[in-house]
Amino acid sequence: GKHARDFIHVRVVKEIMPNLVKFFQTLELVVKDKDMARTLSARESKRILEKMINGLWDLLALLDLSPIESDQLIQIIVANLSGTLNAPEIRCKLEPRRSLDCNILDLKLGALEV
């Protein structure tokens, strides 16, 4: 039970999360590239990014990630949305499942408002 959960947690944090972060960043680059703005690739990247953002809260809750582990992913989400939305609009769009993630999000959005 506990050993299997710890094993999965470590594998996800060390092997999957870095690749997930890179994938988020790649999608973000495609979405923000003005030359690609009207391409199918950009539209699909935006759609995938939105679905991943919505599913990310469930992943963070399921894995019970620490604040340090969650912070980087939440920063990418906020950075992605801050190009088109202001802090209150981002807050309305995102629905973290855990209070920990909600607090991190509030800190990130507070920094945007300054």
Residue 52, sorted as left (phi over 0), alpha (psi -120 to 50) or beta, turns out to be alpha
Residues 63 and 6: their CA atoms lie apart, in Å, by 10
Residues 67 and 47: their CA atoms lie apart, in Å, by 27
pLDDT tens by residue, 2-36: 888 888 888 888 888 888 888 888 888 887 777 87
Q: What is the mean pLDDT of residues 92-111?
A: 92
Q: Distance between the two ends of the chain, CA-based, in angstroms?
A: 45
Q: Is the pTM of this model over 0.85?
A: no
Say what the pLDDT of residue 102 is. Answer: 95
Q: Which residues contact 42 (CB under 8 A, 6 or more apart)?
A: 30, 31, 33, 36
Closest to 63 measured CA to CA, from 36, 89, 98, 37: 98
